[in-house]
Amino acid sequence: MMRILFFFMGVPMMIMSFFEAIDVLPYVTNYNLMVDGKVVELSETEMQGLQEQVVSLFEGSRTMPAFGVVSNDMYQEDVKNGYFVSLKFDCPIQINDLPFDELVFKVDKDFQGFNLMRGMNGIFQGRCIYIDLQDHNMTNIFEYIDNLESVKNISIDEPVEDISDEAEQIPTEDFSDDNKNEVVVDNATDRK
């Protein structure tokens, strides 16, 4: 409660902090659907429906400590199979002292709980946030995604955005004597 009071009192805070994952949903600026590692372009109506399904999924859920940990390499492999939803934020946010600017979760109709994988600047690493669905499962959101025209119309030949292309490139400086001012681009997905 103290963190919220500081926020409303106007004390500058760099990161908004929450205790329950459902409380961050109003701050999501972009919902993305990934199918087998590809970002699917959704119509406005489909995007609105996805947002409603995510909000409905989180209603009545409990945020719990997670034992799951994600590394960026593991994340890149995991999202290659199945349905995943990405929630992007304009600024860093944290739940129970775990910071992120993007949350991604797998949609499986039988899941009664799931891990939110935390991303910061395009890199996914660290402890996950576990969501317990309290006697519910993901059937509704799974069936909604499965029946989307944009998902049904994905063809092998159709180009869609590959999530591995989204990896942020971080410039690093080469401090060797031979190249004092040369800038080297380090692809963030190659880190371990």
Give the pLDDT confidence of 41-94 residue by residue, as tens digits.
Answer: 999 999 999 999 999 999 999 998 888 899 999 999 999 999 999 999 999 998
Residue 173 lies in a domain: no
pTM: 0.73
pLDDT band of residue 154 (cuts 50, 70, 90) is confident
Phi, psi for residue 12 in degrees, rounded to 5 = -60, 130
Residue 93 lies in a domain: yes
Query: What pLDDT was estimated at residue 163?
Result: 54
Residue 176 lies in a domain: no
51: helix, strand or coil: helix
E-strand stretches of 36-152: 38-40, 62-64, 69-70, 83-95, 98-107, 113-120, 123-124, 126-127, 129-132
Q: How does pLDDT run across 113-138, given as a tens digit for each residue?
A: 999 999 999 999 999 999 999 989 99
Q: Domain count of the chain?
A: 1
Residue 191 lies in a domain: no
The whole domain housing 141 covers: 2-167
Residue 12 lies in a domain: yes
Q: Is the dihedral of CA 35, 37, 42, 48 positive or negative?
A: positive
Residue 84 lies in a domain: yes
Residue 152 lies in a domain: yes
Tell me which residue of 85, 71, 76, 92 sits closest to 140, measured CA to CA: 85
Residue 128 lies in a domain: yes
Output helix, strand, coil percentages for the chain, rounded to the nearest 5: 30, 35, 35
Tell me which residue of 150, 156, 192, 186 sits closest to 171, measured CA to CA: 186
